Amino acid sequence: MVKYLVFILGCAVIYCNAQERFPLYEGAVPNSKPTADRERDEPNAAVDTLTFQVSVPSLTVFLPPPDKANGTAVIICPGGGYHVLLTKREGSDVAKAFNELGIAAFVLRYRLPDDEIMIDKSIGPLQDAQQAIRLVRKRAVVWGIDPDKIGIMGFSAGGHLAATVGTHFDKAYVANLENMSLRPDFMLLVNPVISMTDGIGHTGSRNYLLGVAPAIEQINVFSNELQVDSLTPPTFLVHSDADIVVPVENSFCFYEALHKHKVAAGLHIYSKGEHGFLTAPSFDEWFGRCIHWMQEQNFF
């Protein structure tokens, strides 16, 4: 009886701390220059909250109630063109929706590329996303997570980051002494930036990540449609055909590459709806498509 009570109390403590935010790295942040922490959240009428100048990356843990938990986890990368993060609308709000379904969620505040704070700004966000996967997989038992059901989700530029993680996992950009797998088990990409090419890429995201005049080799490396192979994780993409910020061709080209390499993939295109789905389609509509695909693929 005593052991049972200790177990219940332990679960309660874990759940009470389900929205704990902690630094992504212990000690020094790799690839960073000495700088003051200038991160700030600002209210925004369109998206509720914007987070600026992230230089100390962090992960916020959202755990479902123990009686709902099913072992699946999703790391969420908010969008914002690599110069800001929509940490509520494309972060905590989505995490709480996953929790309602028994899925653990982790909102990643990744470093925003800036030559003032990074030695190589092009790999800073990728390092943080790899570190997030490493930590969630390393602590899977503590958080009640199946280490083989850890996915990554990204919106817009966060979708580019998520897709980069899913296509560059064979090289560790962070210390990985345990040789932990850095491959997400699945990807959920919402109106994602995929390409860095002139034709369909999002110029703003490319300029912030790679600079205004990147070499063609660097453009190709970070054009994720060119990096897909048979080991790329199963992927669900959702986009609007009316998106005038990030062309729908980004999702098309990534889906085509996945299909070519026989990677399980789903693609849903809405005929209406602006970038970020601010007014349409509704959250329940597009989020429901993601959940249906996850169930279809036996991820929960």
pLDDT digits (tens, 9 = 90+) for 225-263: 999 999 999 999 999 999 999 999 999 999 999 999 999
CB 160 within 8 A of CB 194: yes
**Rounded-to-10 torsion of CA 294, 154, 239, 229:** -70
Mean local confidence (pLDDT), 183-192:
98
- The class that CATH gives domain 2-26+35-296 is alpha beta
Alpha helices (H) in 119-199, listed in sequence order? 124-138, 140-143, 157-167
What are the counts of helices (DSSP H) followed by strands (DSSP E) for the chain?
A: 9, 10
pLDDT over 90, % of the chain: 93
Closest to 189 in 3D by CA, of 77, 84, 45: 77
Mean local confidence (pLDDT), 211-220:
97
Task: Classify residue 32 by its DSSP letter.
Answer: B
Closest to 285 in 3D by CA, of 271, 265, 264, 299: 271
Q: What pLDDT is stored for residue 50 in this prediction?
A: 97
Place of tokens 């490493």: 134
Q: What residue type is assigned to position 209 of the chain?
A: L
pLDDT tens digits, residue range 28-61?
999 999 999 999 999 999 999 999 999 999 999 9
Residue 11 clears pLDDT 60, i.e. is over it: no
Closest to 263 in 3D by CA, of 157, 178, 183: 183
Residue 101 clears pLDDT 50, i.e. is over it: yes
CB 194 within 8 A of CB 251: yes
- Angle (CA) 248-53-216 rounded to 5° is 50
Closest to 216 in 3D by CA, of 229, 226, 205, 204: 226
